[in-house]
Structure 1
Amino acid sequence: MSLLERLNQDMKIAMKNKERDNLSVIRMVKAAMQNEGYKLGRQELSDDEALTVLARELKQRKDSYKEFKSAGREDLAEKLESEIALIETYMPQQLTEEELESVVLETIKEESATSKAEMGKVMSAIMPKVKGKADGGRVNALVLKHLS
């Protein structure tokens, strides 16, 4: 089942069960996917493209969550926390620290990178491998650790 089909199915369930918060989040994610489709000039997004949109939506909410927490807005932070949890259910299983480190080391070896100056080359080779499975910040930190 594609990501869009899962979203549609869950949207119907949320409507039937009158889960307004879940319904709102699912609609926002679907709208973001639809907007991306318009930008690309297509009706349907591939699962990979849909995953990219989903990851972007998740990152935006995580950033906002940090801002609300630091500003002391617990009410808004709690709402975002539930949105983040819902969106994460649609994301692929995240890589463990060991799995991610193995991918990083393997890619550094493939790219024959030895210094921080080659970090961009390594990052651009790693990110497609871990798309949706690891946060870019985690990847960046590991690459930096192994290239220094």
Structure 2
Amino acid sequence: MSLENTINDAIKTAMREKDKTALDALRAVKSQIILLKTEARGAEVSPEQEIAILQRMIKQRKDSYEQFTAQGRDDLATVETDQMKVIEKFLPAQLSTAELETEIKKIIEETGATSVKDLGKVMGTASKALAGKSDGKSISEMVKKLLS
């Protein structure tokens, strides 16, 4: 089942349960998927693109959460975290720090990287291999740590 169909089912469930936060988050996801399909002129949306949409939306909500918290708007910050939790349910399971380190060590070995100069080569491979399983910031920090 595609992400779009899963989101549509979740929207129906949220409507039945009168869960406004989930409904808002799910409608935002659906909107982004429709926008991507429109830009692609009706072409099918790949699972990688769907994951990228979800990750981007979570990142946006994290940024908003930080801004609202800094401004003392805990009411709005709570809404953002609740929406993040709803969206995260549709992402693949995230890697723990230990699992991420193991995966990146394998990638460093495969690419033959030895120093921070090889960061770009490792990041390119790691970003593709770990798409959806970890965010770019975590991958970048781990690669820098292991190469230095």
How does the TM-score come out when normalised to structure 2? 0.94
- The aligned residue for residue 45 of structure 2 is 45
| Displaced runs of 4 or more, over 3 A | none
- The aligned residue for residue 145 of structure 2 is 145
- The aligned residue for residue 60 of structure 1 is 60
What is the CA–CA distance in structure 2 between the aligned matches of 1:34 and 1:45, rounded to whole Å?
Answer: 9
Query: Which structure 1 residue ranges, 5 or more long, are not aligned?
Result: none
- The aligned residue for residue 107 of structure 2 is 107
Q: Does 1:73 align with 2:65?
A: no
Query: Deviations 1:88-116 (Å, cap 9, x if unpaired)?
Result: 11111001111111111111111111111
Identity over the aligned pairs, expressed in percent?
A: 36
RMSD between aligned residues:
1.2
Higher relative CO (Cα under 8 Å, sequence separation at least 6) belongs to 2
How does the TM-score come out when normalised to structure 1? 0.94
Query: Which structure 2 residue ranges, 5 or more long, are not aligned?
Result: none
Shift of 1:2: 2.3
What is the CA–CA distance in structure 2 between the aligned matches of 1:27 and 1:97, rounded to whole Å?
Answer: 31
- The aligned residue for residue 32 of structure 2 is 32
- The aligned residue for residue 87 of structure 1 is 87
AA paired with 2:110?
E
What is the CA–CA distance in structure 2 between the aligned matches of 1:7 and 1:43, rounded to whole Å?
Answer: 19
Question: SS of the residue aligned with 1:128?
Answer: helix
Shift of 1:13: 1.1
What is the CA–CA distance in structure 1 between the aligned matches of 2:48 and 2:40, rounded to whole Å?
Answer: 13
